[in-house]
Structures are given as C-alpha cells and as structure tokens.
C-alpha cells in the first residue's frame, strides 16, 4: 500500500480516537463537548498525516563505516576516476530524505546534515536531487550537468530554499581545485555524518 495512503489512514484514526476520547471525557464530567473535540482531533490527525506523508519517501540508509568515511575524507580519487561528493545542509525539511540520482541511477538518500561520496568514471554526468512522498509535490527537483576529470574531486552543496508555491533545492558546485579548497572542504565534512552510497 502507498505510504502516503497509510499515513492518511493513520491520521484519520488518530482524529477519530482523539475526538471520541475528548468527547467521552467531557461527557463524563457533565460538560457539553460541542465542536472542540472534533477540532482538536481533526487538527492532530491532519498534522500527523501531513508530517508522515512528507516522510513517506524516506528509506533506510546505511551509515558509512569508519574506514569508508576516512577514505572519503582523504579526498583522494581512485586511479583514473573522479571522486563525487554531495553534501546537504540547512534546517528546512531536514528529516525528509533527499534522493541523489547520478546518470539516472539512485546512489544515496541524504537527510540534513549528511554527505555521501563515491568514485565515478571521468567524463560527463548528470546529477539530480529530489524528494519522494508528499514532499515531492512541495519541492522542485534540481538537475546539474558536469564534467569530471580523472583525479578530480567534484563536490556539490545542497540546501533547501523556501518558495511562495514550491520550495527549491539550491545546488552549488564547491571549488576544490587547490589544496586550500580541499582542506576547507575536508574541514566542513569532518563534522558531518556520512551516508554510505548505494554503489561502490
């Protein structure tokens, strides 16, 4: 069953139980419940369904092993490969998993703050960031084309920006051509948990 539907059902059940429970308590003390229990129950039910629906696109993501994280933080690409790093920052929608798709293939899902790193072949690539579940309808996907050279570290920073109708995923390519820039990137990532990529 669709997770959004499941959360809608859960929200409805919560609304009924809370409304009924409050009405029963008020009746038991001789008070007239009126519309207050329905309003409270309805609000809680809608709130739970909304939050759950926004998180419906989340999936279990493995945390990187210590050795895997250390290797990523060395910022040393494998031979004839490039190292792709995507990291997410910010508080907006931080609990909703952002899907990282490379060349049409899902490679990770990031909550905030998190990062992932993987070796990629040199050449042209397409990076897409977006959400699943109810959050997908509220946020525009972001796409980025880039070329990776052998031995290059390609890093992208993703952060949510609030919009009038839809939120946007702002993606910035982080400069990493010099040792100073690499050290700054390493310092930034050293305080962030790493999500293991779906692929090696």
Single pTM value for the model: 0.82
pLDDT 10s per residue in the chain (200 long)? 577 788 888 888 888 888 888 888 888 887 887 788 888 888 888 888 878 877 888 888 888 999 999 999 999 998 889 999 999 998 888 889 999 999 999 999 999 999 999 999 999 999 999 998 878 888 888 999 999 999 999 999 999 887 777 888 999 999 988 899 999 999 999 999 999 998 75
Domain boundaries, the chain: 3-54, 66-194
Return the H-helix or E-strand segment holding 54.
helix 36-54
Residue 183 pLDDT:
93
Query: Sheet containing 81-89: which strands, arranged edge to edge?
Result: 139-140, 167-174, 153-161, 81-89, 114-121, 193-194
Is-cis flag, bond preceding 49, omega within 30?
no
Structure tokens at 35: 């519309």
Residue 164 burial by Cβ neighbours in a 10 Å radius (0-12, 13-18, 19+): exposed
Query: Which runs of consecutive H residues, i.e. helices, occur in 55-197?
Result: 66-73, 135-138, 179-190
Please choose, from the candidates 21, 55, 49, the residue with its C-alpha nearest in 3D space to the C-alpha of residue 36. Answer: 21
Question: Selecting from 2.40.50.140, 3.60.20.10, 2.40.30.10, 2.60.40.1120, what CATH number does the domain 66-194 have?
Answer: 2.60.40.1120
Give pLDDT, residue 163.
74
Q: What is the pLDDT of residue 156?
A: 96
């Amino acid at each position: 069953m669709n997770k959004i539907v499941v959360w809608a059902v859960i929200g409805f059940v919560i609304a009924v139980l809370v409304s009924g429970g409050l009405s029963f308590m008020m009746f038991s003390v001789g008070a007239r419940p009126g519309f207050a229990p329905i309003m409270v129950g309805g609000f809680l039910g809608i709130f739970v369904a909304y939050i759950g629906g926004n998180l419906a696109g989340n999936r279990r993501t493995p945390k990187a092993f210590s050795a895997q994280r250390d290797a990523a933080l060395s910022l040393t690409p494998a031979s004839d490969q490039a190292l792709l790093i995507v990291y997410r920052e910010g508080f907006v929608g931080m609990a909703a998993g952002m899907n990282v798709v490379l060349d049409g293939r899902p490679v990770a899902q990031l909550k905030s703050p998190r990062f992932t790193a993987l070796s990629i072949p040199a050449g042209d690539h397409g990076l897409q960031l977006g959400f699943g579940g109810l959050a997908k309808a509220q946020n525009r996907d972001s796409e980025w084309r880039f070329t990776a050279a052998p031995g290059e570290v390609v890093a992208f920073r993703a952060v949510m920006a609030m919009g009038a109708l839809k939120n946007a995923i702002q993606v910035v390519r982080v400069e990493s051509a010099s040792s100073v820039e690499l050290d700054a990137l390493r310092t930034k990532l050293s305080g962030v948990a790493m999500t293991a990529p779906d692929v090696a």
